[in-house]
Amino acid sequence: MISLDDVSKTFDGGATYAVRNLSLDIASGETLVLLGSSGCGKTTTLKMINRLVEPSSGAVRVDGRDVHEQDAAQLRRHVGYVFQGIGLFPHMTIEQNVAIVPRLLGSSAAQRRARAHELLELVNLPPGEFAHRFPDELSGGQQQRVGVARALAADPAYLLMDEPFGALDALTRDVLQQEILQLKDRLKKTIVFVTHDIFEALALGDRIAVLHEGRLEQTGTKEEVLGRPATPFVKDLFGKPARQLEAYKGLL
């Protein structure tokens, strides 16, 4: 599991905090959604889990061990990361993009190809059709699938996903949300998924952690955040689009 214990992060010597006194446990096998508006500290929180950002105070543990005691490269193989924005290398083919980590790990060309093709199958991009294309020859949704395949390449136990579907149209987003749910069931990954979209949070999260200005407002199941909001902020967040939320009434 992943645990954040009273974690804070300031980028300006303490004048302001991107994340403040955040404590959160993510259980093995669950999908935890970090939900909040732009600038509330979601990306910073995610990056502290795999040491792309160092906390100013507090401890982050993965599998019970402080991440600072773990080798950063090893940690990042164990904790896959899908970046905000797609971030594929434009001059590399889809196969090469997916095989970046296996290449860094020293796999042979044949092993890398086999792994890349297996992963492309997994994310519903038939390798015969897609492996040799370049990123700009794919739609946004297809590129995002490649980003997921790439993050899965070293078979990480954990997957951190930073607004992976933020730039996609609503229909493509729905399809990819369903695919992520299926992948999660098949592969038994633990997922931390960042979004600013409350419907995406409700669709994907086993639990939802609501962040506001760097602070955790509430962590709970959808039933809890919808039915028993812990703070006025959470109440307001889920209350505003109340009419659209009619569809979720069955959950309450």
Ligand X SMILES: Nc1ncnc2c1ncn2[C@@H]1O[C@H](COP(=O)(O)OP(=O)(O)O)[C@@H](O)[C@H]1O
The residue ranges that bind ligand X (CB under 6 A) are 11, 18, 36, 38-44
CB–CB of 123/148 below 8 Å?
Answer: yes
- Taking CB atoms, the residue at the shortest distance from Mg ion is 43
Give the count of residues interacting with Mg ion (CB under 5 A). 1
**Token reading at 11:** 């980028």
Check binding of 195 to Mg ion (CB under 5 A): no
Q: Could you tell me which of 17, 52, 19, 252 has the C-alpha nearest to residue 5? A: 19
CA distance 128 to 94: 11
CA distance 32 to 24: 10
Check binding of 8 to Mg ion (CB under 5 A): no
Check binding of 43 to Mg ion (CB under 5 A): yes
Of 36-44, 85-93, 102-110, 148-156, the segment contacting Mg ion by CB under 5 A is 36-44
Of 42-50, 51-59, 120-128, 242-250, the segment contacting Mg ion by CB under 5 A is 42-50
Minimum Å gap between C-beta 47 and ligand X is 8
Q: What DSSP state is assigned to residue 247?
A: G
CB–CB of 212/36 below 8 Å?
Answer: yes
CA distance 120 to 148: 9
Binding partner of residue 198 among ligand X, Mg ion, none, CB under 5 to 8 Å per kind? none
Minimum Å gap between C-beta 84 and Mg ion is 5
Nearer to ligand X, 37 or 178 (CB): 37
Minimum Å gap between C-beta 40 and Mg ion is 9
CA distance 91 to 147: 15
Number of Cβ atoms within 10 Å of the Cβ of 11: 12
Q: What DSSP state is assigned to residue 245?
A: G
Nearer to ligand X, 42 or 115 (CB): 42
Run of H or E including 31: strand 31-35
Nearer to ligand X, 45 or 96 (CB): 45
Nearer to Mg ion, 95 or 217 (CB): 217
Distances (CA, A) of 211 to 18, 53, 71, 252: 11, 18, 29, 22
Minimum Å gap between C-beta 19 and ligand X is 7
| 224 phi/psi in degrees, rounded to 5 | -70, -50
Nearer to ligand X, 144 or 195 (CB): 195
Minimum Å gap between C-beta 125 and ligand X is 28
Binding partner of residue 18 among ligand X, Mg ion, none, CB under 5 to 8 Å per kind? ligand X
Q: What DSSP state is assigned to residue 242?
A: T
Question: Rule CB under 5 A: which residues touch Mg ion?
Answer: 43
